Amino acid sequence: MLVYPSGVDVSSSTLRFLTARLRTSRHERGTRWRRLTCGRQALLTLAHLRCGHTYAQLSAGFGVSVATAYRYIAEAVQVLAALAPTLEQALQTAATKAYVILDGTLLPIDRIAADRPFYSGKHKKHGMNIQVLTDPFGRLLWASPALPGAVHDIRAARTHGIIDAVTEAQINCWADKGYQGAGGTVRVPFRGRWVNLSAGQRAVNVAHARIRAVGEQAMATLKSWRLLRKLRCSTTRITALVQAVLTLHLASSDRG
């Protein structure tokens, strides 16, 4: 396999952050020697998450076996995922904001047509449902565990306890029509065809859409990590991958 230099569009502070976390993890485990240093392992992981490079490509580029590349990345992902905020922690941060925006997205996966639990009728493809909370500026606060793509947004929100949590914390939450009937402090637009809505209802829906549009930045942030644009791994690993990306995003935001 031919090997050539390439770039990863993440900040050096993100690399330093992951390197420090891996160094701490190795110290806690009592690891004496590894084929790659903490810095090289961090770069290997970032190349996989950000660029979506395969294990075969990474093993050639970093001079390790495919099995070693897989093991190093899996270890780093677990270290990062463990640092991701819980829903309770995210709501503590959200309590200082005017409101939060709740939205869901589908992360595409490579599944055959027979895998119905993962097929989203809305998106017409197989994937995993992820719920996210963002602040009024579109910054990610929290990402949920992954559920099969056939699960609707309102059901996913209830499964994760998001609706009850924001209501109990008395945090105003803006969401789209997919969350109709959520109740509590969740605010959704009026249903119905535009021509059948009153002038007041139209005005409310326009204002509502402007607020929610900011939340689309969070989805763009998630999918700027190219691995999440088309996942070809076991569905049991997707939650950890999303949590790892969230941790890296929050770490870079704190240093920004």
Residue 256 has pLDDT above 60, yes or no: no
SS (H, E, C) the chain: CCCCCCCCCCCHHHHHHHHHHHHHHHHHHCCCCCCCCHHHHHHHHHHHHHHCCCHHHHHHHHCCCHHHHHHHHHHHHHHHHCCCCCHHHHHHHHCCCCCEEEEEEEEEECCCCCCHHHEECCCCEEEEEEEEEECCCCCEEEECCCEECCCCHHHHHHHCCHHHHHHHCCCCEECCHHHCCCCCCEECCCCCCHHHCCHHHHHHHHHHHHHHHHHHHHHHHHHCCHHHHCECCCHHHHHHHHHHHHHHHHHHHHHC
Which of 44-53, 95-104, 192-201 has the least mean pLDDT?
Answer: 192-201
Residue 241 or residue 117, greater confidence: 241
Sorting pLDDT into bands at 50, 70 and 90, what band is 61? Answer: very high
For the stretch 142-184, pLDDT in tens is 999 999 999 999 999 999 999 999 999 999 999 999 999 899 9
Q: What is the pLDDT of residues 63-89, one digit of tens each?
A: 999 999 999 999 999 999 999 999 999
| Least confident among 67-81, 97-111, 114-128, 140-154 | 114-128
Tell me what pLDDT residue 121 has.
86
